[in-house]
Structure 1
């Protein structure tokens, strides 16, 4: 079609005052919708959204047309996905550069059908008359759209004139960036827009649909023997297609009684023919059931039309796209029409605001309750500007998951703590490396307490502090120390009480009176430092203070001082005397990446829990001094020894203190039973709003425990047990989804726990004394 004839045929007269006006006076309001992420909706949510759109359809007046357009574009990543000059940040941009990706945009247009067959182009008065009706129409539309804005599923943005023109350009050019100048169009049995060639398929009759349609269908790939992973019925021809396409969904709201009259006529025709044909009998029964259902439930008859436009610049690629689409239709038992002769009429009448022109032969009767089943309510993963760089599980396109700012703003969580579950071999340390490295790149202060040297490469790469505890040359702490007496607050005393109870009683039970008396001793001990005490606070001076003093009458009835002294003697002047009496405590305020490696003492019943607690207290001292900085503490497997007896109180203290100082605690373990079987388990779960789980396909027996103790819904469980290797299930408050951990070769080399690979890297590191060079050399040999 040449440009001069297109100008005559183009159905839009003007875009004015944020409205589309057709040449016949039809007025259209436009909105951009942000839809839920793919795979995030369960059957309950999908049904709820369908009910929502049924409500919208029934709320709009007669002679209104709802036009929903979903644009899917194939593109390549050109822009940087990570900011910063660090090695791993640079590797992200190199890894994802020009990676094929799919984008999706959804627009909703609501049109007031003028019912006019007179062109406005030469009749100014008629144009002004139609414009005078705009306000009433907009009020009605705004009321209906408010049903969407009140729900958590959608973000709705009204389109202004500039954006409307941009969307028109996208449709007319089949391009993600709308063009203001029109391309040449040709419709000779195949669509041609500039250098693009395309095809159109339409659903315009109930005969093309299966006999029964449910709101959802089972996804075989993600389902297991115990879980059925449900997706929206229409997904295979929407987000399921990995090619350029537009899915047009049009609903004509007309006088329901008139539509019913047409149905009644058809009903009588089929009734008279039923004796001649079994097929007619089935159709009669279907229409009869449909009519009764609408009458009983006060639903609304509508006309509807659906079509898909495919395109590419290459004939062979277009043929592949057609095969994809036809296979998707077969999967849904839908038999579409491939449009040839009416291609021009259908393409032009699906321009936003022009749906009045869709030929009657391409409309078919539906009801408001069932029509939403054919609407698309999903989008690709919506990335955040900040957060962890993961990829979507469908196309492995990069997406950032914000677990820090956005969930708190949205009210999804009240704390940032997280539990990470990863059965052996699923990549738990790999994932934690990935999270920690990115948080470091984004300015967080990172502290990791670990068994197994999982984070040594990363620590060396960022030139952090790596403390590997050696019993022969122990780290020296002093939890009693303070720079100013104001630092001796209630939190510090709670920690010291827990520490002393542990050193005295271990895992044995203790009396409440004993704990209270220790608290009194601590109060009295620190009061001495306000009176020019020459000694410095430490374990030894506290031990001597308890030995020489008494804090209450008849103290011996409740407090066995001899037992106390015998239990703590090793930390006073015995074999562990260096651990708690340092004159120069570790100062970590300015260190942004710190690892405490506990592998050498992991089996020591006293040192392991003690040093773990001391490390955490050092971190607490650090974070109080930098309240404005983001702080992340990762405890990988080391939490078990500090979750028993009095240590359970320490867990509560830890969570409470971190939350007050803009921080998070991420505790990682292999199995949920590890948490449930400890006294601190309930406190950990109750104070954790974010759950991160790697593949549990081999742990199906834990399904009921997740539901019972972690409050996982059936939808959460379907998603969790659908995960495979290098996939991660994330639940933030009430929302959950699955992502992939797809990383650059450099990140893989840095995170990998493969012994042979690590030997090669560390051998190079010993020679070069530079972890970046060691990782680069390893990657170059891959």
Structure 2
């Protein structure tokens, strides 16, 4: 029976012959080299950087031989987030975080670059002479091996120029990535299925002048193929008003409106056709003469002559290369009503670029066919327009969505534009890459900016990945999280200390479990004694420092040799009074060099029977070495000028003990407002020592503050904390916009980082509840992310007094099960559909 269907097989029309030596070879002998493109993240590129990227593309294009084609193909696919909740090691809060984002829609961006070598005859191919309508004849030029060799060499140069720019990276695609394997689809198969999934299903193609379909998806094509459709001016970048202020600029690439800002399934194809530029200019010279001859008969001929002459003047005076270019946006949907909306959206985004939206209803099959990877030689000549390389490259999309860090360690943040969870490593990977030299962090955020939510979110994830976390807090910010950990571990972890009059925190700085006093331990004891002895405005003399150092060393030696001596502050005081005083007399130490009576008098309140005798003479040693989450809440003594700095510095000694003894284990100390107590003149060296040394012990020190005046007024903070914190984290600073210049100068922020910080929370999605946070690593990486949490996490982190009391009452009612209380509160809030703000 004769087949009467008006259909053909894909094999009979397929334009690709083979893939050899990682090159795509068409049936017309066009050779294509394919690359995968990695672009910088959205909102992280400045105007100068966009210009540098543009310049790199221009230099790279100029190394290609005549009759080459540059084809950029950017895919933007709508996907829904799939939570990873099957792992057994997920905690209650991690699982709730993943479930919160279940089915969250986002755009996935994949970018490819195809460099094709074709021939002069093929470059003049029109739409009625494509692979869809004719047989294949191999051009003679492509049979020359030198032609192919020169082209491949130029491709290598192209790759090197782009990668050396430092902003964009292109990676050569291999045969398996192009053709696919048994288990994964290649780029050609993905193209015909309009998908970027590793497993795809080929569907029927319906090619018609009125409509084109791939399976159930109807295609919608907008083209920029005529100079009349183009804007009057093009640039490398544009100002994004939603995130810009009168004091800062947020920049996007000129083509961003049809890139990540167009929220539908679409492909952006951009072509640069490199013909013989001398021949092009010669043709325009001839056209200009013809127009001049005919100008007396028509004013339009005279105007055309002027335009052609201006084009020629630009080419000759500036040394520009004449090429042809084309850009199109191919969108699709399986819902015709949705397709109408998509058509309007694409047109609106093109209008934002000041382009004239042209919905192409005739050439969709031809342009779809030409966009097959490796088939750019089939592009119809009449769909291109003449321009220069620099202007054509302005239509290259210059940024991509946020990417996950390629590291097993990190924290989960959220992409500010799409709301998709992002795995972010702000410690290990930047260290390995040399972006930062230490893991220390400085966090600045005013009250209400979401600072406590971010720090809770960060330390919780660090703890769940095996980190020993010690926090010094003055506002009960971590009580909920600590109680949850305590409940989950059956009291083995999640230790919460708070200072009470009837149960004060007590220490013994002279006690070490192994009996070994190393240099670091000795220095911390000297610093502590100096803090007790001298006021902030009363620095010790050199003689006093030497005398105190000798006293501490002699006492520690006595502890080591005398097994009956109980190490404590009481016995140290008695050693100074009874023995060291005699030693000083033997050495004939003058009273003005070291006044031992004044020394004993000042330290008497901490000796037996004194006002603070409990503080440094603890008879029970705090066994905190194996506890992985410890919170010291010092709100009750934060205004006590005597107790607060002493307790703080002894707590830090506890951390230093962890730091020295826990080999190969990650450690973090986080100080909220407590850093103020240890940043006084007398303890600056101690703080500096901690920040410089913690790096060597696989640790990190984190300081958190909310008052901008604190960092502006304190030279110690500037010289110690900021200079030794390579990771800076800032939250909403808009209330300080008028005095942000001083903050920028103090923190050493660039104008790019300033613009990012001032854009925080300016254009938040009203359908989501989150606060944005800026994270800067070293001086080369920075971006804004969102801290968005589930309701379960919200109730665990909240610092609202009414919500905390509600959680505490429900926890008591449920027999101390705080996890169950959080679950019930979150469930009731979901049912009530009440909104929460962080």
Q: TM-score, normalised by structure 2?
A: 0.89
Cα displacement (A) at 1:277 = 8.3
| Matched residue, 1:506 | 535
| Matched residue, 1:699 | 736
| Matched residue, 1:731 | 776
The answer to whether the aligner puts 1:105 opposite 2:110 as a matched pair is: yes
Retained in 2: the 8 A contact 1:217–1:231?
yes
Distance 1:17 1:31 in 2: 14
1:696-729 residue CA offsets vs partner (Å, 9 max, x unmatched): 1121023211331111111111111110170111
Equivalences for 1:421-460 in 2 at 5 Å? 421-460=444-483
Match of 2:598 among 543, 551, 563: 563
Match of 1:37 among 30, 36, 41: 41
Retained in 1: the 8 A contact 2:65–2:151?
no
1:335 is paired with a residue of what secondary structure? coil
The answer to whether the aligner puts 1:153 opposite 2:167 as a matched pair is: yes
The answer to whether the aligner puts 1:138 opposite 2:152 as a matched pair is: yes
Distance 1:407 1:325 in 2: 38
Q: Provide the alpha-carbon RMSD of the alignment.
A: 2.5
| Matched residue, 2:556 | 526
| Matched residue, 2:795 | 749
1:73-100 residue CA offsets vs partner (Å, 9 max, x unmatched): 0011224179533110110221111111
Indicate how the Cα distance of structure 1 residues 716 and 271 shifts in structure 2: closer, same or farther if over 3 A, else same: farther
1:20 is paired with a residue of what secondary structure? strand
Farther off after superposition, 602-611 or 551-560: 551-560
Figure out how many residues of one structure are paired with residues of the other and give that number. Answer: 781
Q: TM-score, normalised by structure 1?
A: 0.95
Retained in 2: the 8 A contact 1:719–1:729?
yes
Cα displacement (A) at 1:133 = 5.3
The runs of 5 or more residues in structure 2 that have no matched partner are: 123-129, 180-185, 487-493, 762-769, 830-838
| Matched residue, 1:473 | 503
Distance 2:803 2:549 in 1: 51
Retained in 1: the 8 A contact 2:483–2:818?
yes
Match of 2:759 among 722, 731, 745: 722
Distance 2:521 2:592 in 1: 27
1:390 is paired with a residue of what secondary structure? strand
Cα displacement (A) at 1:544 = 2.1
Farther off after superposition, 529-538 or 593-602: 529-538
Retained in 2: the 8 A contact 1:495–1:653?
no
Cα displacement (A) at 1:33 = 1.4
The answer to whether the aligner puts 1:517 opposite 2:547 as a matched pair is: yes
Cα displacement (A) at 1:130 = 6.0
Distance 1:289 1:754 in 2: 67
Indicate how the Cα distance of structure 1 residues 23 and 490 shifts in structure 2: closer, same or farther if over 3 A, else same: same
1:568-602 residue CA offsets vs partner (Å, 9 max, x unmatched): 11112212122112233212121111110011111
| Matched residue, 2:19 | 15
Farther off after superposition, 354-363 or 7-16: 7-16
1:642 is paired with a residue of what secondary structure? coil
Indicate how the Cα distance of structure 1 residues 111 and 617 shifts in structure 2: closer, same or farther if over 3 A, else same: same
Cα displacement (A) at 1:440 = 1.4
1:646 is paired with a residue of what secondary structure? helix
Indicate how the Cα distance of structure 1 residues 82 and 760 shifts in structure 2: closer, same or farther if over 3 A, else same: farther
Distance 1:582 1:185 in 2: 84
Distance 2:794 2:202 in 1: 47
Indicate how the Cα distance of structure 1 residues 428 and 401 shifts in structure 2: closer, same or farther if over 3 A, else same: same
The answer to whether the aligner puts 1:354 opposite 2:375 as a matched pair is: yes
| Matched residue, 1:674 | 710
Retained in 1: the 8 A contact 2:255–2:398?
no
Indicate how the Cα distance of structure 1 residues 3 and 138 shifts in structure 2: closer, same or farther if over 3 A, else same: farther
Distance 2:501 2:293 in 1: 95
Indicate how the Cα distance of structure 1 residues 506 and 701 shifts in structure 2: closer, same or farther if over 3 A, else same: same
Farther off after superposition, 184-193 or 761-770: 184-193
Farther off after superposition, 515-524 or 2-11: 2-11
The answer to whether the aligner puts 1:323 opposite 2:323 as a matched pair is: no
| Matched residue, 1:195 | 216
1:324-374 residue CA offsets vs partner (Å, 9 max, x unmatched): 111111111101322222222111011111111111111112222222211
The answer to whether the aligner puts 1:170 opposite 2:175 as a matched pair is: no
Match of 1:394 among 398, 417, 435: 417
Farther off after superposition, 281-290 or 768-777: 281-290
Retained in 1: the 8 A contact 2:35–2:170?
yes
Cα displacement (A) at 1:553 = 4.0
Retained in 2: the 8 A contact 1:476–1:582?
yes
| Matched residue, 2:569 | 539
Equivalences for 1:629-648 in 2 at 5 Å? 629-648=665-684
| Matched residue, 2:490 | none
1:171-220 residue CA offsets vs partner (Å, 9 max, x unmatched): 11111226474533333422200111111111112221111122221111
Retained in 1: the 8 A contact 2:72–2:271?
yes
Cα displacement (A) at 1:155 = 3.4
2:463 is paired with a residue of what secondary structure? helix
| Matched residue, 2:240 | 219
Distance 2:301 2:354 in 1: 20
Farther off after superposition, 51-60 or 280-289: 280-289
Cα displacement (A) at 1:72 = 0.5
Cα displacement (A) at 1:521 = 1.9
Distance 1:273 1:80 in 2: 71
Equivalences for 1:752-771 in 2 at 5 Å? 752-768=798-814, 769-771=816-818
Farther off after superposition, 232-241 or 580-589: 580-589
Cα displacement (A) at 1:240 = 0.6
Distance 2:462 2:298 in 1: 69
The answer to whether the aligner puts 1:72 opposite 2:76 as a matched pair is: yes
Indicate how the Cα distance of structure 1 residues 130 and 459 shifts in structure 2: closer, same or farther if over 3 A, else same: farther
Cα displacement (A) at 1:259 = 2.0
Distance 2:393 2:23 in 1: 25
Indicate how the Cα distance of structure 1 residues 474 and 255 shifts in structure 2: closer, same or farther if over 3 A, else same: same
Indicate how the Cα distance of structure 1 residues 562 and 757 shifts in structure 2: closer, same or farther if over 3 A, else same: same
Distance 2:291 2:633 in 1: 79
Retained in 2: the 8 A contact 1:10–1:348?
no
| Matched residue, 2:745 | 708
